[in-house]
């Protein structure tokens, strides 16, 4: 069951822009939640990540292109961490997005703000995401990409912990649930005669 995005808060804890983008689809037991159900939600995600959206707003084709790129990054990353080769179509999608010019920013008055050069399009923001994916997939950090160990969640994240043994996509969500369940189990075991 696919549910569309009624959530207004996006997670930014995957450790990489492209993995945060992949996390805009959430899989929970029995349902899949789409956080980018409308062009306005994609605009919100771009803004939250500091990426400019098109001055005239994003369109349905922009949203479809974003979802295609998200799917290609997801499938390619999952395949590579499982030692499966990516599909030529996914490679083509990532490379096509990465070829686009990226947004250009200028330093604003006072030196503490940035201003995008007028008229960026969705392709420019998607290019930033695709280039981040290319860097992640071809760099040394690919071996630290993990899928969340929580039941019902398979969110990808970059494990930047010193030990390299992080298990959950987020302590706030999955890690907290696992800790609470462990606490309840220990407490129940202590209270049994």
pLDDT for the residue 184: 65
Residues 6+ apart with CB under 8 A from 11: 20, 23, 155, 169, 170, 173
- Contact between 1 and 31 under an 8 Å Cβ cutoff? The reply is yes
pLDDT per position as a tens digit, 117-171: 766 789 999 999 999 999 999 999 999 999 888 777 778 998 888 888 887 776 6
pLDDT digits (tens, 9 = 90+) for 144-155: 999 888 777 778
> Residue 176 is encoded by which pair of tokens?
């907290």
- Domains of the chain by residue range: 15-188
- What top-level class would CATH report for the domain 15-188? mainly alpha
Percent of the chain with pLDDT over 90: 47
Summarize the confidence of residues 83-102 as an average pLDDT. Answer: 96
């Amino acid at each position: 069951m696919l549910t569309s995005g009624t959530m207004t808060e996006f997670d930014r804890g995957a450790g990489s822009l492209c993995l945060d983008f992949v996390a805009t689809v959430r899989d929970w037991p029995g349902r899949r939640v789409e956080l980018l159900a409308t062009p306005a939600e994609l605009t919100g995600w771009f803004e939250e990540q500091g990426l400019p959206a098109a001055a005239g707003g994003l369109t349905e084709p922009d949203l479809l292109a974003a979802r295609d790129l998200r799917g290609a990054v997801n499938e390619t990353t999952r395949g590579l961490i499982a030692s499966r080769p990516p599909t030529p179509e996914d490679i083509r999608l990532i490379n096509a997005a990465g070829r686009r010019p990226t947004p250009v920013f200028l330093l604003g008055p006072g030196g503490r703000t940035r201003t995008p050069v007028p008229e960026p399009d969705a392709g420019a923001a998607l290019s930033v995401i695709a280039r981040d994916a290319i860097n992640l997939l071809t760099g040394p950090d690919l071996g630290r990409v993990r899928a969340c160990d929580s039941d019902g969640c398979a969110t990808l994240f970059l494990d930047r912990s010193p030990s390299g043994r992080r298990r959950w996509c987020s302590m706030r969500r999955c890690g907290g649930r696992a800790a609470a369940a462990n606490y309840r189990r220990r407490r129940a075991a202590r209270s049994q005669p």
